[in-house]
Amino acid sequence: MKYLTLLVISGICSGLFAQASIVSEKEVIKLMGTRFEITATAENQSIASDAVNVAIREIERIEALISSWQRESQTSLINRNAGIRPVEVDRELFQLINRSLKISALTGGAFDISFASMNKLYQFDKKEHSLPSKNEVEAYVSKIDWKSIILDFDLQSVFLKKKGMRIGFGGIGKGYAANKALDLLKNMEGVKGAVINASGDLITWGDNGKENGWPIQISDPADITSSLGWLTVEDMSVVTSGNYEKYFTSNGTRYAHIIDPRTGYPTTGIKSVTIISPDAEIGDALATSIFVLGLEQGLRLINQLKDIEGLIITDDNELHLSENLKLNQI
């Protein structure tokens, strides 16, 4: 899960635009179990309002497709048939799962949509808890294995080989939804620009009435009301994941809500990860993965990927930037 640590700090926030011909509409709404902030700029208020509504309907459609908590979704059907039979699914869901498996391969299993079997093992309620026993953790980890997600490209079916396996899109779904909503707005006549912000999975496009794109503030994970700095983006995604809203402590150690699917234990060592890329889906998955990979491996991966930058803040409040990222200080 991502949190609202990314804020547009001029233009949209003030509601003032340099060009009189551009107006904006913004709505904050709960979708996919989280806070979405949808902003559209357009030739007139009616078009801007219509654009926001189009984005909301698209996100609702995607939630119905990929949700693992809605019983009638195709994802839930896949999970109910784990270890029993393959399930034929829509091409859209099939391709999302296929891309997820490619990210699993890229990250050596640090990203794994079959992590969902771990969901009930921990309580990330900011309270003190004992860690589960080794046997408990191992029982859940035995059901996590991205290589046991079998895709049949001819039948367009998905089969979870192990009984009790579950898939979920908490590490990629909101980024995907942001991408898809923005794609629709790009094709709407009269729409000039937009920002889709899914609690920190943020993607921008087009004109906000300013000359230099969309200024995005990076909040300080030690105090999310203050800022570490800002950057300006055009037609880019900025995705932040942090451990400061959903966590628990055990013997003085804070454990983030992101679980290492290879070990079954929550991650430690990193407070937040921000990924800047052209694609919110990729940014979403990478932000999750880097929590698992840790600082050194995470930075190494970012620096190897084309058109992707990132910053990592460790538990001891050290800020680490990828090779080509420039952060403006406030």
- pLDDT band with cut points at 50, 70 and 90 for residue 330: low
The two three-digit tokens of residue 216, written as one number: 């995005």
- Give pLDDT, residue 219: 80
Q: Is the distance from CB of 287 to CB of 274 less than 8 angstroms?
A: yes
Condensed to tens digits (0 to 9), the pLDDT of residues 171-212 reads 999 999 999 999 999 999 999 999 999 988 899 999 887 777
How far apart, in whole angstroms, are the C-alpha atoms of residue 250 and residue 326?
36
Condensed to tens digits (0 to 9), the pLDDT of residues 34-62 reads 999 999 999 999 999 999 999 999 999 99
- pLDDT band with cut points at 50, 70 and 90 for residue 6: very low
CA triplet 131, 199, 278: central angle to 5 degrees?
110
Condensed to tens digits (0 to 9), the pLDDT of residues 256-272 reads 888 999 999 988 889 99
- Give pLDDT, residue 19: 47
- Give pLDDT, residue 275: 97
pLDDT beyond 70 at 13: no
- Give pLDDT, residue 283: 96
- Give pLDDT, residue 14: 33
Condensed to tens digits (0 to 9), the pLDDT of residues 233-257 reads 889 999 998 887 788 888 888 888 8
Name the percent of the chain lying above pLDDT 90. Answer: 67
- pLDDT band with cut points at 50, 70 and 90 for residue 70: confident
Q: Is 28 left (phi over 0), alpha (psi -120 to 50) or beta?
A: beta
How far apart, in whole angstroms, are the C-alpha atoms of residue 237 and residue 235?
7
Q: What is the mean pLDDT of residues 96-122?
A: 93
Condensed to tens digits (0 to 9), the pLDDT of residues 177-187 reads 999 999 999 99
Q: What is the mean pLDDT of residues 123-148?
A: 92
pTM of the entire predicted model: 0.90
pLDDT beyond 90 at 284: yes
